[in-house]
Amino acid sequence: MEAVKTVARLSLSHLLKGLPENGVGLQVARDTWHPLSGRFWEIVKVEPKKGSNEHLEAYGFFYFKGLRKNAEPKRIASVWKYGWMVRSTTSSGQRTEEHVVMAQGELEEDFKDQSRRDL
C-alpha cells in the first residue's frame, strides 16, 4: 500500500511566522479559492497582536480577478482560519520559490511534531 502525503492546513498567522520577514511582500490565498480566480492577499504589514507575542495581525491588499479591491492596506480578518498557502512571490523578486517551499516544509514538520505531542 502506498502512503499518501498529507499537507498540513495552516492558519495564516502560523504560516507567516515561519517565513522570512513574516511573509511581507508575498501573495497568500486560501486553499478553497480556485487558482484561476485571481483571488489573493498581498501581505504588506505583519505585527504581533496586542498583548501576545504568539498571535499575529496581518495587513494587505485584497485582489479579485487579479484587480486590487482596496486602496489602503486592510487588516486580514481570517488569520486564524486554516488552509492558507503561499501563492507566489512579488514581481520585484524579493523572495525565491525555494525559500517559500523550504519555509512551508519546516512548518509542516513543526505541525507534525506538535500533533505527535498532542497524542
The full set of domain ranges for the chain reads 10-118
pLDDT at 100: 46
Work out the number of other CB atoms within 10 angstroms of the CB of residue 10. Answer: 21
pLDDT in tens, 28-79: 999 899 888 899 999 999 998 887 777 889 999 999 998 999 999 999 998 8
Name the grid cell of 82.
486554516
Q: What is the pTM of this model?
A: 0.68
**Where are the alpha helices (H) located in the chain, listed in sequence order?**
12-17, 97-118
Q: Are 46 and 23 in contact (CB under 8 A)?
A: yes
* Identity at 97, one-letter amino acid code: E
